[in-house]
Amino acid sequence: MDIRLTEVKEEDLKTLWQMQTEAFAELLERYRDYDMSPGNEEYDKVKARFDQPWTTYYFIERGEERVGAVRIVDKKDGSRKRISPIFIMSEFRNNGYAQQAILAAEEIYGSDYWCLDTILQEEGNIHLYEKMGYHRTGQTEHINERMDIVFFEKD
Residue of 75, 66, 64, 152 whose CA lies nearest to 109: 75
Q: Which fold has domain 3-111?
A: Aminopeptidase (3.40.630)
Average pLDDT, the chain: 97
Residue of 28, 30, 2, 5 whose CA lies nearest to 16: 5
**pTM (2 decimals)?**
0.96
Compute the average pLDDT of residues 61-73. 97
Q: In which element (H, E) is residue 21 found?
A: helix 13-23
Condensed to tens digits (0 to 9), the pLDDT of residues 70-117 reads 999 999 999 999 999 999 999 999 999 999 999 999 999 999 999 999
Task: Compute the distance between CA of residue 124 and CA of residue 63 in angstroms, rounded to an integer.
Answer: 25
Q: What does the domain layout of the chain look like in residue ranges?
A: 3-111
% the chain with pLDDT above 70: 99
